[in-house]
């Protein structure tokens, strides 16, 4: 055997060896789950809580995503991100996650398509309009439903995946939406597949908002919890079964026994969301042109003070505000209602630094009060979640409020208070407001078990009761519930509902899923000026450079091969 034949056999053996190694590696990898996320923000890495939920699924969760068909590039990117997330879900859930993308506009019959749109809307999916340019420079409009329906054992639940904040551009909205895809999907999967039902309760007995006024948020919370309503009636331990208690705009004073029951519920780790008005304003009287704002003593100031906050009996006015319809017609003429800015209806910008408020729309409020945090409560961590704009001021109660104030038209220089806190999250070990107090007068027959310091706990105080209230309209067909956060005068949808859902989930979340809302994807935008100025240059580079590299590689390979074998004597 000559030298050339020996080299050929050696190369063949080397090739076969490497082929065997590759085949063996592929075979072994089929039994292993090794995935590497090379992105700086770890956008393809699922949280440990998500993996645990997916691995423990005992039946198929079927996901129908209504985002397909002819869409512009940003929504195509959004669709791809949803698909990638679901593919990651399948890695851990195996056959228990199935999904399909559906084009809701695929039906050519207009009536059938409209009926399908109505059905999706009634199931809870929110539509949006997108605009795209055709090849001839024209613009077309299309309705899409950027959300999904999850089906588990015959139960359906809707999840809206687009965070549609009108205050920012479309591309940033989609980027914010991509950051929360994992949370939105896995939180709904968790609630659908939970083995045990968790309970929350709306408190009654102190003039709180009724069922109709909280109907919309109740329906949304029912996707996660069993929602009850009930009164304390001074019975210690009556709240112990509930993960959270919601106190929605009470108007009557709390007695000491009810306060004690609430206090001890908190000491045991119970979560409370307070939506309170320290000042009462009658909107019915405002229709006549003026009304009176008076202090609303609920008798719970001592509780809140001990926990770390104080709600002041004042009203916040803000330049960044919603509108109110005002009759501008002259006397004797038909009514002519015109929307006018109303400083008593602040629109609050939610900070993006906390998982509760991240990527939320403006929050709609009415007659809100300022909150002071108590510096002496060092052991309590206080986070301001909602605050006024830099141009605000306060009005002390009692006070007369008149629609004539609209005509005064003050300027920004008249609003000298900046970023007044109106919603505060408290976290830590709370001290009982009944410490060092005799309980025999409240419970003469049997002294209840008393705990003077809580386990690590959380609560939310919001100085506005209307933030959780949906409008109710009486029509010929009965009561009509206006979705929470929807303003029928401006046709805007505010972030009230998302804020409350996020807050409840944050307080009750034992697995840390709400922290997924803190994920941040960097929005790497192209420089539009350079695109315009250097368009031809980069087109040329992208077209010719790969071909040049291939040709040069071929020439170099042939040169090296010829040089190597030219040294071999036959």
CATH number at residue 89: 3.40.30
In a domain, 230, yes or no: yes
Last residue of a domain, one of 169, 191, 213: 191
Contact 371, 309 (CB under 8 A): yes
Band of residue 38 on the pLDDT scale cut at 50, 70, 90: very low
Q: What pLDDT, on a 0 to 100 scale, did the predictor assign at position 339?
A: 83
> Which of 191, 217, 250 lies at the terminal end of a domain, its last residue?
191
* 73-93 helix and 181-193 helix, angle to the nearest 10 degrees: 40
Residues 368 and 267 in one domain: yes
CA distances from 454 to 3, 240, 374, 509 (A): 86, 14, 18, 18
CA distance 399 to 410: 18
Angle, helices 181-193 vs 48-55, to 10°: value is: 40
Any domain includes 41: no
Asked whether the predicted pLDDT for residue 168 surpasses 90, the reply is: no
- Reported confidence tier of residue 326, pLDDT bands at 50, 70, 90: confident
Whole-number CA gyration radius for the chain: 31
Please tell me which residue, 250 or 403, carries the higher pLDDT value: 250
Q: Are 569 and 8 in contact (CB under 8 A)?
A: no
Question: What does the alpha-carbon distance between residue 316 and residue 311 come to, in Å, rounded to a whole number?
Answer: 12
Whether 40 is covered by a domain: the verdict is no
What's the structural domain count of the chain?
4
The torsion angle over the Cα atoms of residues 301, 307, 308 and 311, rounded to 10 degrees, is -30
User: Token pair of 481, please?
Assistant: 């519930």
CB 214 within 8 A of CB 248: yes
Chain centroid, CA 157 distance in Å = 16
The DSSP code sequence of 69-82 is: SS--HHHHHHHHHH
For residues 157 and 18, state if they share a domain. Answer: no
Same domain, yes or no, for 233 and 267? Answer: yes
- Together in a domain, 318 and 350: yes
Average the pLDDT over 521-526 and give the result: 53
* Confidence grade of residue 377 (pLDDT, cut at 50, 70, 90): confident
* 467 and 566 belong to one structural domain: no
- Do 374 and 293 contact (CB within 8 A), yes or no? no
* CATH classification of the domain holding 302: 3.40.50
* Distance of alpha carbon 355 from alpha carbon 499, whole angstroms: 10
Claim to verify: residue 395 and residue 256 sit in the same structural domain: yes
Please, what's the b/e burial string for 34-56 (b: 16 or more CB within 10 A of its CB; e: otherwise)? eeeeeeeeebbebbebbbebbee
Instruction: Identify whether 375 is part of a domain.
Output: yes
- In this predicted structure, what is the pLDDT of residue 558? 76
Q: Is residue 447 part of a domain?
A: yes
- The yes-or-no verdict on residue 290 having pLDDT over 70 is yes
The whole domain housing 550 covers: 527-570
Q: Is residue 210 part of a domain?
A: yes
Q: What is the pLDDT of residues 458-484, one digit of tens each?
A: 999 999 999 999 998 888 888 888 889
Is residue 150 scored above 70 in pLDDT? yes
The sign of the dihedral angle between the CA atoms of 98, 104, 107, 111 is positive
Q: Which residues contact 62 (CB under 8 A, 6 or more apart)?
A: 98, 99, 150, 151, 152
Q: Are residues 283 and 401 in the same domain?
A: yes
The answer on 218 and 163 residing in a single domain is no
Which domain-ending residue is among 164, 191, 218?
Answer: 191
**In this structure, are 409 and 435 located in the same domain?**
yes
Task: Kindly report the length of the chain.
Answer: 570
Establish how many alpha carbons lie within 13 A of residue 106's alpha carbon, considering only the half-sphere containing its beta carbon.
Answer: 8
What is the value of pTM for the model shown? 0.79
Question: Considering the domain boundaries, does residue 39 fall inside one?
Answer: no
Q: Are residues 415 and 564 in the same domain?
A: no
Contact, 61 vs 152, CB < 8 A? yes
Do residues 140 and 238 share a domain?
no
The pLDDT mean for the chain works out to 84
537 and 508 fall within a common domain? no
Q: What share of the chain is helix, strand, coil (3-state, %, to 5)?
A: 35, 25, 40
Residue 216 counted as domain residue:
yes
Residue written as token pair 């995935």: 35
The torsion angles phi and psi of 458, rounded to 5 degrees, stand at: -140, 150
């Amino acid at each position: 055997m000559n030298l050339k034949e020996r080299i050929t056999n050696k190369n063949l053996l080397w090739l076969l060896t490497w082929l065997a190694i590759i085949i063996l590696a592929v075979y072994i990898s089929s039994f292993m789950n090794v995935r590497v996320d090379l992105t700086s923000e770890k956008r393809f890495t699922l949280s440990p809580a998500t993996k645990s939920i997916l691995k423990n699924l005992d039946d198929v969760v079927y996901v129908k995503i209504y985002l397909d068909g002819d869409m512009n590039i940003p929504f195509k990117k959004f669709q791809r991100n949803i698909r990638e997330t679901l593919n990651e879900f399948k890695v851990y859930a195996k056959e228990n996650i199935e999904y399909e993308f559906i084009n809701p506009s695929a039906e050519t019959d207009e009536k059938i398509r409209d009926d399908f749109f109505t059905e999706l809307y009634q199931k809870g999916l929110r539509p949006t309009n997108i605009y795209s340019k055709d090849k001839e420079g024209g613009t077309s409009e299309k309705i899409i439903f950027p959300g999904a329906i999850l089906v588990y054992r015959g139960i359906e639940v809707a999840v809206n995946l687009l965070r549609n904040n009108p205050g920012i551009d479309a591309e940033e909205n989609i980027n914010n939406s991509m950051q929360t895809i994992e949370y939105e999907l896995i939180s709904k999967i968790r609630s659908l597949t939970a083995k045990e039902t968790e309970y929350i309760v709306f408190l009654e007995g102190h003039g709180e908002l009724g069922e109709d006024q909280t109907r919309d948020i109740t329906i949304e919370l029912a996707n996660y919890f069993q929602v009850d309503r009930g009164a304390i009636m001074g019975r210690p331990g009556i709240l112990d079964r509930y993960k959270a208690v919601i106190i929605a705009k009470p108007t009557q004073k709390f007695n000491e026994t009810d306060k004690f029951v609430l206090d001890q519920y908190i000491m045991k780790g119970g979560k409370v969301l307070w939506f309170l008005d320290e000042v009462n304003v009658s909107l019915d009287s405002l229709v006549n042109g003026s009304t009176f704002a008076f202090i609303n003593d609920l008798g719970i100031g001592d509780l809140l003070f001990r926990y770390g906050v104080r709600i002041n009996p004042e009203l916040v006015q803000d330049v960044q505000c919603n509108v109110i319809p005002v009759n501008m017609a002259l006397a004797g003429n038909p009514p002519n209602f015109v929307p006018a800015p109303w400083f008593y209806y602040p629109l609050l910008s939610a900070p993006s630094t906390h998982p509760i408020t991240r990527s939320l729309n403006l929050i709609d409020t009415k007659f809100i009060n300022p909150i002071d945090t108590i510096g002496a409560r060092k052991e309590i961590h206080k986070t301001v979640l909602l605050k006024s704009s830099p141009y605000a001021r306060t009005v002390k109660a009692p006070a007369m409020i008149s629609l004539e104030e609209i005509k005064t038209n003050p300027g920004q220089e008249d609003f000298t208070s900046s970023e007044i806190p109106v919603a505060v999250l408290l976290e830590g070990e709370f001290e009982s407001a009944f410490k060092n107090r005799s309980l025999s007068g409240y419970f003469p027959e049997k002294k209840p078990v008393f705990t003077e310091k809580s386990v690590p706990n959380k609560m939310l105080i919001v100085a506005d009761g209307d933030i959780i209230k949906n409008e109710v309209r009486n029509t010929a067909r009965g009561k009509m519930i206006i979705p929470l956060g929807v303003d029928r005068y401006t046709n805007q949808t505010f972030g009230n509902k998302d804020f409350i859902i996020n807050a409840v989930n944050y307080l009750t979340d034992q697995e840390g899923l709400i922290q997924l809302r803190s994920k941040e994807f960097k929005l790497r935008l192209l420089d539009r000026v350079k695109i315009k100025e250097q368009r031809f240059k980069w087109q040329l580079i992208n077209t010719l450079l790969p071909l040049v590299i291939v040709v040069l590689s071929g020439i170099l390979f042939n040169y090296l091969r010829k040089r190597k074998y030219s040294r071999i004597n036959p």
